């Protein structure tokens, strides 16, 4: 009964195509639309995959750059420390025979590091 009612709603052209084993114009149009939509979907999927690959590469490059930055910061600290030490050594180098006031202070500090003489006598700690 539903097949018959469906057949009644078909146009003459659709019935003729169906009886001759052909494809109705409406079905051909739907098939063409389906093909277009399927092609669009495939293109979108390809675009998304490409976008994901690019994003992954960017994230990997970012991680590499972050590691390089950390290594450069560590090298910078090491070099700064070396410069500070060289600067101190340079300041400590004096012409022969010249005495600095801080030498006496350093000597007193060294004595205090050995021990508190007034309480325990001389001893190395």
**Exposure letters 17-36 (e unless 16+ CB within 10 A, then b):** beeeeeebeeeeeeeeeeee
Provide the whole-model pTM.
Answer: 0.42
Domain positions in the chain: 2-93, 94-125
pLDDT tens digit string along 90-105? 776 666 656 565 655 5
pLDDT tens digit string along 66-124? 999 999 999 988 989 988 888 777 776 666 656 565 655 555 555 555 555 555 655 55
Closest by CA position to 34, among listed 54, 26, 112:
26
To the nearest whole percent, how much of the chain has pLDDT over 90?
A: 33
User: What spatial distance separates the first Cα and last Cα of the chain, rounded to whole Å?
Assistant: 111
pLDDT at 22: 53
Mean pLDDT rounded to a whole number for the chain = 73
């Amino acid at each position: 009964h539903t097949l018959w009612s469906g057949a009644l709603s078909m146009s003459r052209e659709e019935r003729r195509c169906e009886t001759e084993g052909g494809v109705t114009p409406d079905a051909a149009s739907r098939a063409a639309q389906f093909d277009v939509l399927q092609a669009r979907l495939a293109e979108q999927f390809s675009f998304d995959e490409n976008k994901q690959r690019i994003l992954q590469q960017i994230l990997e490059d970012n991680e590499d750059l972050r590691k390089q930055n950390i290594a450069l910061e560590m090298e910078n600290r090491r070099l700064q420390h070396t410069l500070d030490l060289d600067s101190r050594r340079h300041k400590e180098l004096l012409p022969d025979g010249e005495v600095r006031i801080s030498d006496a202070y350093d000597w007193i500090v060294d004595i205090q590091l050995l021990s508190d003489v007034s309480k325990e006598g001389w001893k190395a700690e």
